[in-house]
Amino acid sequence: MVKRYPGRDRPAVEGLSFAVAPGEICVLIGPSGCGKTTALKMVNRLISISDGDITIDGQNVRSLGLTQLRRGIGYVFQQIGLFPHMSVEHNIGSVPRLLGWSKTRIRERASELLELVGLDPVGDLKRYPGEFSGGQQQRIGVARAMAADPQIMLMDEPFGAIDPIARDRLQNDFLRLHRQVRKTVIFVTHDIDEALKMGDKIAIMRDGQLVQLATADELLAAPADEFVARFVGEDRGLKRLRVRSVRDLELDPAVSGDAAVTSLMTDTSLHTALSSMLAEGLTQINVVDEDGRPIGSVRFDAIARLVAPPETAAAAPAAAESSSR
Amino acid sequence: MRSSDPLTFFFNNLSLFESKVIAHLELSFAAVGVAILIAIPLGAWLGHIHRGSFLAISVSNIGRALPSLAVIAIGIGILGIGFLNTMVALVILAGPVILTNIYVAVAEVDPDAVQAARAMGMTPLVVLWRVELPLAMPLIFAGVRTATVYVVATATLATFAGGGGLGDIIVNEPTYGTAGVIAGSLMITVLAFAVDGLLAIVQNRITPYPLRKQGRQAKVEPLANAAAWQAPGNR
Amino acid sequence: MTVALHLAPAAGGPVIPNFGGASNCVVQNHQFCMSWFTHNFNSVFKPALIQHIELTAIAVGCGMAIAFAAAIFAYKQSWFGTPFSLLSAFLYTIPSLALFELLVQVTGINRFTAEIGLVSYTLLILFRNTLTGLQGVPPAVIEASRAMGYTPRQTLFRVEIPLATPAIMAGVRIATVTTISLATVAAYIGAGGLGKLIFDAIQSGFKTEFVAAGAMAIALAIIADILLVLIQRAITPWSRHRVQTF
């Protein structure tokens, strides 16, 4: 189930060409006006394609009937757009109803999805959208998009209007959901941190064109040009540490003394590890298992080596030797 | 004085029309004047203290529901016939419209402006007089305009209560003939439009320029019965 | 062609209809004689009331049909909105008695003429409210609807119109109450209803009839208003909750 993306639409999007693998979350990101939303909306033809093709599983989106196409694609967007006059159950059941599902089947599906998105599968069925907070409404929005089990989900800045704390939770919950459900997702955002967190692949766009398509780590390690480097942030070195954890390192032996003052777990991000080192004034910290037993330690230079560019790897041990004293 | 053509009838009876129109307008403006005198202070104060919205809504609902002829009829039953009776009936019909409009107008004045005024140290009365009323003026005037057109139209019915006015011609076919009835009907129609048009011009003049584009509806949408302020209700 | 009413009370004092055994209250023409009212309710007032309700219902029904169709058309073809609005506003501004009198010249003195006039008066408010209601549907909801594969027709009937219902119902309320009032005047050109009783009473000078008929008309209007509010609340359960729109 692959989505191919060659597309051309006025100057808004030009010569955009890439493929999204099945079950992958592909994030489109770029500055305002770069065409990311336009590109997204061309998939379900909310915006028409002037030139080029978008194919889903080999089938051109233009060859399918518009209604049929859209009923097979889940769409979540920033303003949510839940139907205020329908209960949650009916909102989620919007597309299934169009497809002719029975009432029982719809209700079961709605319950199932409510549970999946973290809401009350029984009590919330009959409530109305107006009774929920913004974050909860968007959860319902996601459930609604998934109701008819579409091949693809399009998400246009879905968490943009939600407060940062709720947004963080929503992102985590969506990632957890995605691990279970494995849909192909195209996700638009303008927030680089969200992109790095959510995306299996990230496509950076500018002025309607694709600038770089890479994984989060690749993007941070080797930005294609000045623009990308600035876009991902000047602290991209540190950012890389967020996506790695202690388990990515080969552990040194555990130590006692100063280094035992604080400890890390195997799933602690390297970003947190480094932060602890700086806060405690250490260059080496022990790693413990769930029971608190030391199983090794992490050294500053090991972290540095992991994220250093390949050519300085040889020089690093020498520099690290002197700094770890 | 019979004539088969309304226009001819009109020109033959100019003085008649003149006196009727004057009587009609006298009645109308007197009623609107009294309604304003009663409704504006009350509505302005309630709006200023932001109390009595339930009262305002109820008054408007009931006022809108009052069938004008019925009010006049009851008026006849209780007060008898004549100018005074009809005027009272018209005041009862016009009052609610003006009251509700002024209440909404004052209550919905930009709270930031009011807050700034109070922070500057203005007393409540001064705030009302210098800030709220001027800002509310366009909407207040909209209410006055609606009420006036409504009263002018309804005053046609005054004839049934001996109040005079153009209604006298319209309902009196034996005396004035079909042509007269038609002429009278056309006259009152023209009068209604003329009054509406004139007041529209005045309203446009007194609306501060920035508010003109949004129209008076901008302030009123919050209340569910937005259209009620526009519609003269019943005639 | 117009019904001729002499409106000044007869020279020798009011003529009291004598239904036989007239009570003292009636003979002296007090404000309101309860006994006369209850005695004659079924024969006099009830038929008039029913007639009045019929008159109103037909007018609002037809007006709704026309205005609703026009509003949907204007919603889809925006050029239509202003002309229709102007036309209905024009009709609305014409004072009722005048409009009825002018119509009579064309279609005669009968209920049909009255209905034409009454329907004309409902058009403005029904059209305006329906159109405003439709235009007030949040764009995000329409976008969601189209994106999930609703056809334009499905969007209109399942999303836009239901969400416009509060505004539409508000219009129906105002139109109904207004029509009840105007129907009293329509009696002048032969439409019957409570207005007829009022005109009869004006002619005869019988106070009880004035007051009774007038009060009934007022009561009818208020009851209709309340009923329609209740209906509106019943069919829009979601409007009781604040809806978050962006």
Q: What is the pLDDT of residue A55?
A: 86
Q: What is the pLDDT of residue C84?
A: 93
Which residues of chain B from 69 to 128 reach within 8 Å of chain C, CB to CB? 69-74, 76-78, 81
d(CA C246, CA A77): 11
Most confident option among A108-122, A249-263, A298-312, B65-79: A108-122
d(CA B176, CA B4): 10
Touch test C–A: 3 Cβ pairs or more under 8 Å: yes
d(CA C95, CA B191): 10
B113-125 burial, b if ≥16 CB within 10 A, otherwise e?
A: ebeebeeeebeee
pLDDT in tens, A28-70: 999 988 889 988 998 888 888 888 888 888 888 888 888 889 9
Q: Which two structure tokens, joined as six digits, stand for A176?
A: 């957890």
Mutate to test the interface with C, among B27, B28, B74, B166 (most CBs of C within 10 A): B74
Q: Which two structure tokens, joined as six digits, stand for C205?
A: 């000078």
Chain B environment of C9 (Cβ under 8 Å): 81
pLDDT level of residue C30 (50, 70, 90 thresholds): low
Mutate to test the interface with C, among A85, A140, A157, A188 (most CBs of C within 10 A): A85
d(CA B161, CA B184): 18
pLDDT at B216 over 50: no
Q: Are A141 and A108 in contact (CB under 8 A)?
A: no
Please give the residue of chain C at the shortest CA–CA distance from A74. C148
Q: Which two structure tokens, joined as six digits, stand for B87?
A: 């005027």
Chain A environment of C237 (Cβ under 8 Å): 128
**Nearest chain B CA: its distance from C243 CA (Å):** 14
- Chains with at least 3 CB pairs less than 8 angstroms from chain A: C
Q: Which two structure tokens, joined as six digits, stand for C33?
A: 């004689």
Residues linked to residue A7 through DSSP beta bridges, in sequence order: A16, A52
Phi and psi angles of residue B110, each rounded to the nearest 5 degrees, phi first: -45, 110
pLDDT at C157 over 90: yes
d(CA C204, CA C191): 19
pLDDT level of residue A19 (50, 70, 90 thresholds): confident
Query: Does the model's ipTM exceed the 0.90 cut?
Result: no
Chain A environment of C150 (Cβ under 8 Å): 67, 94, 98
Q: Which two structure tokens, joined as six digits, stand for B121?
A: 């140290």
Q: For the domain C41-239, what is the CATH code?
A: 1.10.3720.10
Torsional sign, CA A62, A64, A68, A71: negative
Classify residue C15 by its DSSP letter. -
Q: What is the pLDDT of residue A2?
A: 66
Report the percent of chain B where pLDDT is more than 90.
8
Asked if residue A196 and residue A52 are part of one domain, the reply reads yes
Q: Using only the alpha carbons of chain B, give its radius of gyration.
A: 20
- Which residue pairs, CB below 8 angstroms and at least 24 apart, start in A191-195? A191/A29, A191/A160, A192/A29, A192/A231, A192/A232, A192/A233, A193/A239, A194/A27, A194/A159, A195/A27, A195/A29
**Nearest chain C CA: its distance from A93 CA (Å):** 11
Average pLDDT, chain C: 82
Query: Pairing relation of β-strands A294-299 and A284-288?
Result: antiparallel
Q: Are B176 and B169 in contact (CB under 8 A)?
A: yes
Residues linked to residue A152 through DSSP beta bridges, in sequence order: A73, A184
- Of residues C215 and B108, more confidently modeled: C215
Q: What is the pLDDT of residue A322?
A: 43
Please give the residue of chain B at the shortest CA–CA distance from C121. B234
pLDDT level of residue B211 (50, 70, 90 thresholds): low
Q: What is the pLDDT of residue C136?
A: 87
Q: What is the pLDDT of residue C53?
A: 94
Token pair 């024969």 in the structure block, residue: C43
Exposure of A304 by Cβ count < 10 A (0-12 exposed, 13-18 middle, 19+ buried)? Answer: middle
Please give the residue of chain B at the shortest CA–CA distance from C128. B227
Token pair 């403005």 in the structure block, residue: C124
Asked if residue A215 and residue A274 are part of one domain, the reply reads no
User: Residue C125: which of B61, B181, B227 has the nearest Cβ?
Assistant: B227
Q: For residue B211, give the CATH number of its domain.
A: 1.10.3720.10
Chain C environment of A44 (Cβ under 8 Å): 147
Q: Tell me which residue range forms the domain holding A262.
A: 246-323
Test B157 with C185 for CB contact under 8 angstroms.
yes
Residues linked to residue A185 through DSSP beta bridges, in sequence order: A25, A153
Test B178 with C102 for CB contact under 8 angstroms.
no
d(CA A129, CA C243): 7
**Number of structural domains chain B divides into:** 1
Q: Which two structure tokens, joined as six digits, stand for A97?
A: 């109803």
B52 sits in the region (left: phi over 0; alpha: psi -120 to 50; else beta) called left
CA-nearest of B35, B40, B38, B24 to B154 is: B24
d(CA C212, CA C196): 12
Who contacts B179 (Cβ-Cβ below 8 Å, separation ≥6)? B2, B3, B4, B5, B6, B8, B9
d(CA B183, CA B22): 16
Q: What is the pLDDT of residue B55?
A: 78
- Chains with at least 3 CB pairs less than 8 angstroms from chain B: C
Please give the residue of chain B at the shortest CA–CA distance from C201. B73
Asked if residue A269 and residue A210 are part of one domain, the reply reads no
d(CA A77, CA A65): 22
Test C125 with B224 for CB contact under 8 angstroms.
no
Q: Which of A186, A205, A233 is a domain's end point? A: A233
Asked whether residue A103 is assigned to any structural domain, the reply reads: yes
Our CA angle for A87, A88, A90, nearest 5°, is 65
Chain C environment of B173 (Cβ under 8 Å): 1-2, 4
Which residues of chain B from 166 to 205 reach within 8 Å of chain C, CB to CB? 167, 170-171, 173-174, 178, 181-182, 184-186, 188-189, 192-193, 196
Q: How many CB pairs under 8 A join A and C?
A: 89
Q: Are A282 and A261 in contact (CB under 8 A)?
A: yes
Asked whether residue A239 is assigned to any structural domain, the reply reads: no
Asked whether residue A205 is assigned to any structural domain, the reply reads: yes
Please state the rounded mean pLDDT for residues B148-155: 89
Chain A environment of C165 (Cβ under 8 Å): 85
Beta-carbon count within 10 A of C201 CB:
23
Asked if residue A270 and residue A221 are part of one domain, the reply reads no
Domain coordinates in residue numbering, chain C: 41-239
Chain C environment of B76 (Cβ under 8 Å): 202, 207, 210
User: Residue A81: which of C141, C151, C241 has the nearest Cβ?
Assistant: C141
d(CA B87, CA B155): 9
Q: What is the pLDDT of residue A308?
A: 78
pLDDT at C155 over 90: yes
Q: What is the pLDDT of residue B30?
A: 92
Please state the rounded mean pLDDT for residues C100-124: 90
Asked whether residue B235 is assigned to any structural domain, the reply reads: no
Residues linked to residue A26 through DSSP beta bridges, in sequence order: A186, A201
CA B38 to the chain's CA centroid:
13
Q: Print the SS3 string covering chain A.
A: CCEECCEEECCCEEEECCEECCCCEEEEECCCCCCHHHHHHHHCCCCCCCEECCEECCEECCCCCHHHHHHCEEEEECCCCCCCCCCHHHHHCHHHHHHCCCHHHHHHHHHHHHHHCCCCCCCCCCCCHHHCCHHHHHHHHHHHHHCCCCCEEEEECCCCCCCHHHHHHHHHHHHHHHHHHCCEEEEEECCHHHHHHHCCEEEEEECCEEEEEECHHHHHHCCCCHHHHHHHCCCHHHHHHHCCEHHHCCCECCCCHHHHCCEECCCCEHHHHHHHHHHHCCCEEEEECCCCCEEEEEEHHHHHHHHCCHHHCCCHHHHHHHHCC
Asked if residue A159 and residue A21 are part of one domain, the reply reads yes
User: Residue C238: which of A77, A84, A161 has the nearest Cβ?
Assistant: A84
Tell me, what amino acid is at B34?
Answer: V
User: Residue C147: which of A75, A83, A85 has the nearest Cβ?
Assistant: A75
Asked whether residue A64 is assigned to any structural domain, the reply reads: yes
Test A77 with C236 for CB contact under 8 angstroms.
no
Classify residue B165 by its DSSP letter. S
Beta-carbon count within 10 A of B154 CB:
30
Asked whether residue B1 is assigned to any structural domain, the reply reads: no
- H-state helical runs in chain C: 24-27, 34-40, 46-76, 81-93, 96-107, 111-135, 139-147, 152-154, 161-186, 194-204, 207-235
Which residues of chain A from 86 to 145 reach within 8 Å of chain C, CB to CB? 86, 94-95, 98, 128-131, 133-134, 137, 141, 144-145
Asked if residue A251 and residue A229 are part of one domain, the reply reads no
Q: For residue A210, give the CATH number of its domain.
A: 3.40.50.300
Asked if residue A309 and residue A186 are part of one domain, the reply reads no
Chain C environment of B77 (Cβ under 8 Å): 31-32, 207-208, 210-211, 214
Token pair 């003006």 in the structure block, residue: B98
Average pLDDT, chain A: 85
Q: Tell me which residue range forms the domain holding B199.
A: 6-230
pLDDT in tens, A125-146: 999 998 999 999 999 999 999 9
Please state the rounded mean pLDDT for residues C51-73: 95
pLDDT at B214 over 50: no
Mutate to test the interface with A, among C146, C148, C161, C240 (most CBs of A within 10 A): C148
d(CA B66, CA C221): 7
With an 8 Å Cβ cutoff, the interface of chain C facing chain A consists of 138-151, 154, 159, 162-163, 165, 236-238, 241-246
**Number of structural domains chain A divides into:** 2
Please give the residue of chain C at the shortest CA–CA distance from B169. C98
Asked if residue A147 and residue A274 are part of one domain, the reply reads no
Asked whether residue B159 is assigned to any structural domain, the reply reads: yes
d(CA A163, CA A147): 26
Tell me, what amino acid is at A232?
Answer: V
Phi and psi angles of residue C3, each rounded to the nearest 5 degrees, phi first: -65, 130
Chain C environment of A95 (Cβ under 8 Å): 148-149
Test C214 with B69 for CB contact under 8 angstroms.
yes
Beta-carbon count within 10 A of B83 CB:
17
Please state the rounded mean pLDDT for residues C80-99: 89
Asked whether residue A36 is assigned to any structural domain, the reply reads: yes
Q: Which two structure tokens, joined as six digits, stand for C232?
A: 């509106």
Look at A81-90, B123-132, C72-81, C154-163 and tell me which has the smallest mean pLDDT. Answer: B123-132
Report the percent of chain C where pLDDT is more than 90.
35
| First-residue to last-residue Cα distance in chain A | 54
